[in-house]
Amino acid sequence: MLKRLEVKTSSRVQLVDITSHIKSVLKSEDVSTGVLVVYVPHTTCGLTINENADPAVKDDIITILDKLVPLQGEYLHIEGNSAAHIKASLMGSSITVIIESGALVLGTWQGIFLAEFDGPRKRSVLLKIIPDQHS
């Protein structure tokens, strides 16, 4: 079962909470237990799980990543978006979430974010649901 979400980002750097989108895809699949792999087939955006209760957390992540990997620097990549490539690798391009009782096993404050570093763009998020053999 491979599903695809389209996510439109609205600024150059942005963390987009995609938890509810993923939950609604899972609901339509009727899987009780298993594993969900979330993957982005892109080189300048990533995925991360972090707090989605206080929006200041994602703002802090963006601020510190910008300090760690400045937009302008001694980069060799001629396209001019090396910072985006590096930040995408820091975040990673996939995450894995456990499915139990038909729901994602996430902590109370956890959400799944697409981390845009070279937007605004239209991004694809691939969802691979792997049911347990006996569920």
The first and second tokens of residue 17, run together, are 């909470």
Q: How far is the CB of 103 from Zn ion (least distance, A)?
A: 37
Residue 81 interacts with Zn ion (CB under 5 A): yes or no: yes
Which stretch, 29-37, 50-58, 71-79, 104-112, contacts Zn ion (CB under 5 A)? 71-79
Which residue of 54, 79, 100, 132 would you call a contact of Zn ion, by CB under 5 A?
79
Q: How far is the CB of 44 from Zn ion (least distance, A)?
A: 6
CB 49 within 8 A of CB 112: yes
Which stretch, 18-26, 45-53, 54-62, 72-80, contacts Zn ion (CB under 5 A)? 72-80
Provide CB contacts within 8 A for 43, sequence distance 6+.
85, 88
Which stretch, 8-16, 77-85, 99-107, 123-131, contacts Zn ion (CB under 5 A)? 77-85
User: N- to C-terminal Cα distance for the chain?
Assistant: 15
CB 72 within 8 A of CB 66: no
Provide CB contacts within 8 A for 105, sequence distance 6+.
97, 98, 99
Q: How far is the CB of 45 from Zn ion (least distance, A)?
A: 12
Binding residues vs Zn ion (CB under 5 A): 79, 81
